[in-house]
Amino acid sequence: MSHNCSKEHDRDMERHIIQGDVDVYDSLRDLYLGRLVNIHTQGLMVMGDLSLEEDRLYTLDLHLPEPINDQLVIQLGVDCLWTREADLAGKYWMGFSIIDASTESLQSIRDLVERLGESY
């Protein structure tokens, strides 16, 4: 029951388009996935060159264009919720739920949104 509530809560959370180049890597494979499109403390969206598997767990490294809280990389444990082909040939949208993040990482996300984010 509470799981459904949290899913509905995710949808209500304000998302923020990131106006800056935040590169996203698959930490375990050291593989470039794409660019961060938007983020909030419970999820994020990435546009990339390859499609990941849905319903699979990944560890992502967000490489920041400038240090935030003395961090140049935010590491997050995520669940890939969905992938879709983008209008651009060979590009994919990917949506993730954040399932594992340190208190420091969550604060860095808030600060990233404050510094580079644009609400929509």
CATH code of 12's domain: 2.40.10.220
Show the tokens assigned to 37: 């499109």
Domain count, the chain: 1
- pTM confidence score: 0.82
Residue with tokens 């967000």: 62
What are the tens digits of pLDDT across the range 48-64?
A: 998 999 999 999 999 99
What are the tens digits of pLDDT across the range 71-87?
A: 999 999 999 999 999 88
CA separation for the pair 25, 46 (Å, rounded): 10
Domain that holds residue 21: 2-119
